Amino acid sequence: MNDAASQTRTVVVEREIAHPPERIWRALTQPHLVGEWLMKGDFRPEVGHKFDFRFEWGAIDCEILDVEAERAIAYSWGDHELKTVVTWTLTPTAGGTRLRMEQTGFRTDQPRYFGGARAGWPRFFDNLEKLLERLD
């Protein structure tokens, strides 16, 4: 099967961030912090936990798929049409942490979703970095 629905694309954003993995992990997993840089939602870093992210134009259904404390977290991210997985990976470096976000599963017949993710994730990273500057 080689039609558009069977082909998928991935959005990757990777940055070197001058903060330790523990601090970034807090921002990625504590609900009140996630709500400040990404979206509000009943986020809990527990495998199997279902939640949604809410924003002005709707909601995204999510489920925690994998958690490796201070190293990686993955969750499904979708709606009635979109079925993707967001995976965050934290790698300690001499100057802080290499943070990688990979969102996989965009079908090639979903250019609006793919384009939105490509435009949105770098802005979310900017918000995250601003939040990290304010954390104790």
Is residue 121 scored above 70 in pLDDT?
A: yes
Amino acid 46 reads E
Percent above pLDDT 70 for the chain: 96
CA distances from 27 to 10, 73, 83, 90 (A): 23, 12, 24, 12
3-state secondary structure of 134: helix
Percent above pLDDT 90 for the chain: 89
Long-range CB pairs of 101-104 (<8 Å, 24+ gap) are: 101/11, 101/12, 101/13, 101/14, 101/125, 102/10, 102/11, 102/12, 103/10, 103/11, 103/12, 103/77, 104/8, 104/10
Of 27-36, 51-60, 64-73, least confident by mean pLDDT is 51-60
3-state secondary structure of 121: helix
CA distances from 33 to 38, 50, 93, 113 (A): 8, 18, 23, 25
Q: Please report the pLDDT score of residue 5 as a whole number.
A: 52
Mean pLDDT over each residue of the chain, to the nearest integer: 94
Long-range CB pairs of 45-49 (<8 Å, 24+ gap) are: 45/69, 45/73
Say if domain 10-134 classifies as CATH 3.30.530.20.
Answer: yes
Q: What is the mean pLDDT of residues 44-69?
A: 94
